[in-house]
């Protein structure tokens, strides 16, 4: 057993704490937007298509700007990137609270500004900075702590927001968000990026970023992973955005939606850690295939069995266990096949595919609802995508690329 200290210095400890709190705030708030739909529909005359488009655009821009904030992080530090992200996030929330919240302004605030802000405040940048403070032996534990913090935000935020919506209304709840985001601006200052990452090797392969990009997109396994993560995004956006409306349409108590989202948050922690552990012992592609197929089973159970609180809770538990369980094996496969030199770049494009799926899952589900009066077609597509993703991972070759070094 290694006698190496977990924290190499006090800065590593402070950065880990600050990054964990940042992720709780950013992802916690993001997870609750679906709970606002009925209030926004009544008070702001927001249609479900407009609502789905704004939240879908939010996810798309989150994915698009994450790599750019990664460049800012590499050049100026994680504190600068996260601070800028919180400025966008806070601007979106404050403008919305001040009345810029109808028609185009709804898309501008909820969709564009918050989407850009999530590009640096959500999981990607905080985890990448924390990872640089820890040697390989402790890195997965440290990044796992930050990921678990995000899951805790997923768990507690729907319960608190549900209570706040009942007791104070949506305007005051949005104002509370602004206070939390202002705290995020302060926390960003404590996320320090080390000049030399702990445990970094002095020399790696001489590949350029352009060469790594071309190599990845000429590799069928990378394409399969990217397509699979698209499915993950579709599933998550459909549930996070539209589950309150679906639960209401099925005649279940209104609190059921918050309970489902809370259960997803708490069991996401268990599922992510379990998937990470299993990925160190078994085939990552088979784990991914099983996760996607089991998602389909969970959806079938939820939509075809008679609606009940019990069945809704079972869905929250099972789908929560599978929620972000795709991340450790997907990230692990990218690193294993291509190495870690450009892991941020290569995983960034896989994540962008995830967010494209999120945009379509949120937006098209709203379109289906307005056209046909239900989410049935969105769920049917989700089941088909589960089967597709379960099969497309099977041909992946879990073998590291052998490169010939050139002078």
Q: Are 343 and 132 in contact (CB under 8 A)?
A: no
Encoding tokens for residue 340? Answer: 């870690």
The burial class, CB within 10 Å (0-12 / 13-18 / 19+), for 323 is: buried
Q: State residue 407's pLDDT score.
A: 35
- What pLDDT does 100 receive? 92
Q: How far apart are CA 101 and CA 44, in angstroms?
A: 7
Beta-carbon contacts of residue 352 (< 8 Å; ≥ 6 apart):
63, 64, 66, 67
Q: Assess whether pLDDT exceeds 50 at residue 406.
A: no
Query: Which of 143-152, 252-261, 392-401 is least confident?
Result: 143-152
* Interval 305-312 mean pLDDT: 95
At 83-92, the pLDDT tens digits run 999 999 999 9
Residue from 262, 43, 69, 365 nearest 174 by CA: 43
pLDDT at 312 over 90: yes
Q: What whole-number distance in Å separates Cα of residue 63 and Cα of residue 104? A: 21
Which among 63, 57, 114 is positioned nearest to 85, based on CA atoms? 114
SS (H, E, C) 209-254: HHHHHHHHHCCHHHHHHHHHHHHHHHHHHHHHHHHHHHHHHCCCCC
pLDDT at position 86: 97
From CA 291, how far away is CA 326, in angstroms rounded? 7
Tens digits of residue pLDDT in 84-126: 999 999 999 999 999 999 989 999 999 999 999 999 998 878 8
Can you tell me the mean pLDDT for 56-70? 89
Domains for the chain: give ranges and CATH numbers.
Answer: 11-194 (1.20.1250.20), 208-399 (1.20.1250.20)
Give the Cα separation of 234 and 363 in Å (integer): 10
Cβ atoms of residues 237 and 105 within 8 Å: no
- Exposed (0-12), middle (13-18) or buried (19+): which is 194, by Cβ within 10 Å? middle
- For the segment 174-195, what is each residue's pLDDT rounded down to a tens digit? 999 999 999 999 999 999 888 7
Average pLDDT in the chain? 88
């Amino acid at each position: 057993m290694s006698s190496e200290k977990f924290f190499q210095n006090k800065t590593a400890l402070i950065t880990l704490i600050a990054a964990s709190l940042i992720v709780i705030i950013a992802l916690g708030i993001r997870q609750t937007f679906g709970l606002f739909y009925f209030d926004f529909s009544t008070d702001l005359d927001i249609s479900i298509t407009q609502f789905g488009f704004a939240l879908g655009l939010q996810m798309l821009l989150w994915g698009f700007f994450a790599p750019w904030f990664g460049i800012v992080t590499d050049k100026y530090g994680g504190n600068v990137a996260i601070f800028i992200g919180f400025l966008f996030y806070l601007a979106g929330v404050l403008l919305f609270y001040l009345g810029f919240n109808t028609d185009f302004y709804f898309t501008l605030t909820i969709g564009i500004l918050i989407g850009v802000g999530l590009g640096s405040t959500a999981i990607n940048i905080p985890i990448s900075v924390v990872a640089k403070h820890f040697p390989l032996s402790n890195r997965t534990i440290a990044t796992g702590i930050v990921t678990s913090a995000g899951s805790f935000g997923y768990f507690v935020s729907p319960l608190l927001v549900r209570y706040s919506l009942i007791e104070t209304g949506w305007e005051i709840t949005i104002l509370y968000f602004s206070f939390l985001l202002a705290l995020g601006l302060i926390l960003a200052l404590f996320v320090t990026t080390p000049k030399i990452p702990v445990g970094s090797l002095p020399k790696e392969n001489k590949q350029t970023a352009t060469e790594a990009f071309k190599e990845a997109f000429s590799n069928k396994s990378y394409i399969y992973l990217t397509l699979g993560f698209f499915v993950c995004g579709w599933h998550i956006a459909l549930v996070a955005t539209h589950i309150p409306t679906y639960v209401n349409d099925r005649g279940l108590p209104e609190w059921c939606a918050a309970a489902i989202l809370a259960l997803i948050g708490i069991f996401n922690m268990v599922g992510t850690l379990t998937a990470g552990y299993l990925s160190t012992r078994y085939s990552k592609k088979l784990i991914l295939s099983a996760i996607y197929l089991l998602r389909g089973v969970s959806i079938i159970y939820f939509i075809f069995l008679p609606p009940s609180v019990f069945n809704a809770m079972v869905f929250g538990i099972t789908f929560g266990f599978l929620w972000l369980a795709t991340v450790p094996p997907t990230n692990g496969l990218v690193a294993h096949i291509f190495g870690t030199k450009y892991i941020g770049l290569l995983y960034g494009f896989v994540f962008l595919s995830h967010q494209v799926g999120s945009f379509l899952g949120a937006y098209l589900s709203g379109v289906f609802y307005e056209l046909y009066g239900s989410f049935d077609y969105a769920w049917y597509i989700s089941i088909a995508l589960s089967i597709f993703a379960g099969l497309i991972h099977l041909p992946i070759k879990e073998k590291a690329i052998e490169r010939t070094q050139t002078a």
